[in-house]
Amino acid sequence: MIHIKSMKEIEAMQQAGAITAYAHQVARRLIKPGISTNELDMAIQQAIESKGATPSFLDYRGYPASSCISLNDTVIHGIPSKQEILQEGDIVSIDIGVYFDGYHGDAARTYGVGQIAPEHQKLIDVTRQSFYEGLAFVQDGNRLGDVSSAIQRYVEQNQMSVVRMFTGHGVGKELHEDPAVPNYGPAGRGPKLEPNMVLAIEPMVNLGSHRVRVLGDEWTVKTTDGSFSAHYEHTVWVTPDGPVLLTAGDEDE
């Protein structure tokens, strides 16, 4: 069941979203060759806790870290490690969830590490822009499929592929709520968008095939063909006047 939020709930989610954006700002400033994904994760946890919040992901269904940090051909759910060191030319996707005052914020970004290949920069740019292509259809009365279709269309126009196995989702008191928010599919389908719905819209885009596999740790998701992947996500509030990004930071303004 899709939960339509009250304004009191939206206000709590605005706070959770602001802390999520802050944690991303902290992480972004630390990204450089030589830092481990564990160091990034610890800094993210400290940033979240410094605001009186808790990491949504820590111990969620047994997940062992405060953020998901995914390098290169890892699509999502990369587990931070002291042994995993960022190298010049890598791309790194960071997914952060924040729990504050009973509600969650959820956002992801992909960054280049030092100088990266032009095709990998284009992957990051296309993934980010595909989110905004979908966001343009987040309007009262539109169908969720209108958002999904716009994302897929833009990605495929750029000769890249959208991951099918994982989707976005509703978010609120629970980290994952109804509805599922696919990044592909036909327009005109799915539930109607209504004011005070809150959605985590999160394109996951591969340079090669859309196919992915889950590793033996039951978390880490990689592309099957070894191609690089990027991820971009915001928590989005549907209003009568259009969408509002609850997890927007300075880089999104």
As a whole number, mean pLDDT of residues 224-246 equals: 98
pLDDT value for 249: 84
What pLDDT is attached to residue 253? 46
| Residue 164 dihedral angles phi and psi, to the nearest 5° | -100, -30
Domain spans, the chain: 7-248
Instruction: Note if the bond before 179 is cis, omega within 30 degrees.
Output: yes
Arithmetic mean of pLDDT over the chain: 97
Predicted confidence (pLDDT) per residue in 203-216, tens digit: 999 999 999 999 99
Mean pLDDT along residues 182-196: 97
Whether the pLDDT of residue 251 is over 50: the answer is yes
The pLDDT of residue 55 is above 90: yes
Torsion on CA atoms 71, 72, 77, 83, rounded to nearest 10: -30
For residue 252, is pLDDT > 60?
no
Looking from the CA of 158 toward its CB, the CA atoms found within 13 Å total 24
Contact 67, 80 (CB under 8 A): yes
Q: What is the DSSP string of 29-75?
A: HH--TT-BHHHHHHHHHHHHHHTT-EESSTTGGG--SSEEEEETTEE
Q: What is the 3-state secondary structure (H, E, C) of 74-134?
A: EEECCCCCCCCECCCCCEEEEEEEEEECCEEEEEEEEEECCCCCHHHHHHHHHHHHHHHHH
Per-residue pLDDT tens over the stretch 132-175: 999 999 999 999 999 999 999 999 999 999 999 999 999 999 99
The pLDDT tens digits of the residues spanning 4-43 come to 999 999 999 999 999 999 999 999 999 999 999 999 999 9
- What would the two tokens of residue 141 be? 């009365």
Where is 153: in which H helix or E strand?
Answer: helix 144-157
Rg of the chain on CA atoms, in Å: 17
Q: Minimal CA–CA distance to 97: which of 60, 127, 67?
A: 67
Backbone angles phi, psi at 21, to 5 degrees: -60, -40
Q: The CATH number of 7-248 is which of 3.20.20.80, 3.90.230.10, 3.40.50.620, 3.90.380.10?
A: 3.90.230.10
Cβ atoms within 10 Å of 32's Cβ, excluding its own = 10
